[in-house]
Chain A
């Protein structure tokens, strides 16, 4: 498909049109944003049928086998990530139509939202180191502004903290890119990968790898670098929390980290580096879940849970086996659906009650059946209750850990899964079951558009297990696993075509 550039161009164009047309009529921002995101969703579904696509921006062909222009690359992993970003992105915009009514200045909200989508799609498609950085910054700056969108004291403070740490992370990444460029003399990821494979993996490559690990690890909120996430994610409006926790930390954190480490630097077969990932993943898995256990704030609990679940993904990648990559990617996909759904649920609760404190809720399912049911499904899925999707991905990760002879890590993964069940049962008990609080006798279910988004996500939570059926697995998950596991083939594929 010659149109993969539209993944970046459509949201950018819509974002630039928004301030021009946004003031003409009240409904235009909603329509424009939903139209743009819906077309992206359709494009992402079409992209699953494509094989490898290499798109040369400006039509600059390689000279003597050395690429000179900026490349966009669509491979198996990129297709999977594009699906996640654009499906969740569309549902979150749809949800915003009703939810964002209470905030002023919807056009600006949609502009930032679309810029964030454009940035994430750009990171996913980019085949060029520096372009990853640029698109990452577009997505990150839009997200900083969105966290501060409410302009209350707490939101401003969270956004400031988030942005300071995010900028430090960007500096580390830029430093890594600078050293990688001076080592290889190229910025194209495929070309860089080829040169590094020729030179062999020495100390400088490890140094670059560590810089990227710190930089992207900060963006992905892996354990020692997680401090900003529990402040930033709850402070944003609910659809944005869903986007940040469900998609952004994966697209500009986990995805970019894997792409750079495994495909460009070729560290996918270096056991010492993989062990670091394993340990960091386990640390954030345990610490995130323990911290989540003690939270009273609904959204803050979800944010800590995100840290814990990202830990699972990093742990699975650290195993370095095909099954581990399969489990990690599948869990990434599942986490995107159920965590977005849970944040949308929390948004629905806030919308109806104006309250985020779990202790003050109770019995909300009686008044809000859709929110109650969908959050029940998501909670069960994230805690790994069969046959919901979360069960399968956790099962694969645990089996992969046992196969790789990492028994302790497998055991810890099981234990954390039980802790996860514990704190989600706490949410269910405190918020949705029990006696209806006196203050909440009058509340109503949220508007239909918000319900539709939540129901679609709940259906996905139940049904995503079918991706493991062999015929379907070969279309979506297997190509993505292949990209990560055979990292060195990346250069060959891109430069050869």
Chain B
């Protein structure tokens, strides 16, 4: 069930990217897509009754959730940060040139 929620979130993000006309909203849509996937990874790694996979005093032999997806999510978050930062700076530069975030007004290139 919760997997479907992640897919739904992914589709909401995709909708935002495809339909919205504002550069910032497109960036938000992309971020939603990414976060849906992070959630999906975290859900995959869940084990029944598991705790955080950190060995501390008194928790050496507990049931841990799968730590690998969490490591992957951390890496993917860092990549997502780089992507978002670059996209935002591009959007700001485009705003400087055109004075608008509306893609209908700044479209010069033809497919």
Contact = CB atoms under 8 A, between A and B. Distances in A.
**Chain A in direct contact with chain B (Cβ < 8 angstroms):** yes
Interface of A: 130, 133-134, 137, 141, 144-145, 148, 151, 153-154, 156-161, 163-164, 167-168, 170-171, 174-175, 178, 181-182, 187, 227, 230-231
A159 B109 CA distance: 11
B79 A137 contact: yes
Interface of B: 10, 13-14, 17, 23, 26, 30, 33-34, 37, 40-41, 44, 68-69, 72, 75-76, 79, 82-83, 86-87, 90-91, 93-94, 97-98, 106-109, 111
B40 A153 contact: no
Nearest 9 pairs between A and B by C-beta?
A153-B97, A171-B33, A182-B44, A231-B109, A137-B79, A160-B90, A156-B94, A174-B37, A167-B30
Classify the secondary structure of B's interface with A: helix
Classify the secondary structure of A's interface with B: helix
B99 to A, nearest CB: 11
A178 B97 contact: no
B53 to A, nearest CB: 15
A157 B109 contact: yes
B75 A134 contact: yes
B90 to A, nearest CB: 5
A15 B40 CA distance: 34
Contact of A154 (B41, B69, B108): B108
Contact of A157 (B37, B41, B94): B94
B75 A130 contact: yes
A168 B86 contact: no
Contacts of B37: 171, 174-175, 178
Given A153-B97, A174-B37, 11 more contacts: A153-B108, A159-B90, A163-B86, A164-B30, A167-B33, A168-B17, A174-B76, A178-B40, A178-B44, A178-B69, A231-B109
B108 A171 contact: no
B106 A144 contact: no
27 contacts: A130-B72, A130-B75, A134-B79, A141-B79, A141-B82, A144-B86, A148-B90, A151-B93, A153-B98, A153-B108, A157-B108, A157-B109, A160-B94, A161-B109, A163-B87, A164-B30, A167-B34, A167-B83, A168-B14, A171-B33, A175-B10, A175-B37, A178-B44, A181-B69, A182-B44, A187-B68, A231-B111
